């Protein structure tokens, strides 16, 4: 892949409430939900989305950034500690996929969030997300099973860790 960052601009900035309508549209996509697997029960429920994001934005323990691609809102990346350890997660609008944006966005985010170790949980068949983690220095640390709202059943999940 060409070095996308040399042709286009990929940046992070603080998230604002103005980003939420775009993020809501992005998280409606069926294929994205299938990939991410551990998603909202009903992605079309705007009220539940708003309640969730109000909680996220108010939580001082969460670091969250909007990913900008040539100034457009491409998606988001965040780090929470809901499971005890700092854990990251990210989501891009479909029109921004497969351009290296998540890989570069996470690389930038790892300079913002310096806590280590850092965890990530991924559906075992989410190849794109696994590549994003591998290219950012995460290694496989475990696996398990977790209920997937998007797939309506328990599925295999991989746990990845970045130690330094």
Site mask for ligand COA (CB under 6 A), range 75-94, x = bound:
--------------xxxx--
Residue with tokens 């944006």: 101
The whole-angstrom separation of Cα 77 and Cα 136 is 14
Cα gap 8→11, rounded to integer Å: 10
Pick from 8, 59, 62, 97 the residue near ligand COA by CB under 6 A. Answer: 97
Taking CB under 6 A as the criterion, the residue among 76, 126, 136, 148 binding ligand COA is: 126
101 binds ligand COA (CB under 6 A): yes
> Taking Cα atoms as reference points, which of 73, 75, 64 lies closest to residue 15?
64
SS3 assignment, position 127: helix
Q: What is d(CA 80, CA 97) in angstroms, rounded to the nearest whole number?
A: 23
Least separation in angstroms between CB 135 and ligand COA: 6
Mark the segment that binds ligand COA (CB under 6 A) among 52-60, 98-106, 108-116, 139-147: 98-106
Q: Which residues bind ligand COA (CB under 6 A)?
A: 1, 32, 35-36, 89-92, 97-103, 122, 126-129, 131-132, 135
């Amino acid at each position: 892949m060409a070095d996308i960052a040399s042709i286009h601009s990929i940046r992070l900035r603080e998230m604002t409430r103005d980003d939420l309508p775009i993020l809501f549209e992005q998280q409606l996509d069926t294929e994205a939900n299938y990939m991410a697997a551990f998603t909202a029960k009903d992605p079309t429920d705007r009220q539940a989305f708003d309640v969730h994001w109000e909680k996220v934005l108010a939580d001082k323990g969460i670091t969250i950034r909007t990913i900008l691609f040539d100034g457009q809102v491409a998606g988001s990346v965040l780090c929470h500690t809901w499971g005890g350890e700092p854990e990251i997660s990210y989501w891009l609008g479909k029109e921004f996929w497969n351009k290296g944006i998540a890989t570069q966005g996470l690389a930038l985010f790892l300079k913002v969030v310096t806590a280590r170790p850092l965890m990530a949980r991924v559906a075992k068949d989410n190849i794109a997300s696994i590549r994003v983690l591998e290219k950012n220095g995460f290694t496989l640390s475990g696996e398990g099973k977790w209920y997937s709202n998007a797939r309506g059943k328990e599925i295999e999940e991989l746990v990845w860790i970045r130690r330094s």
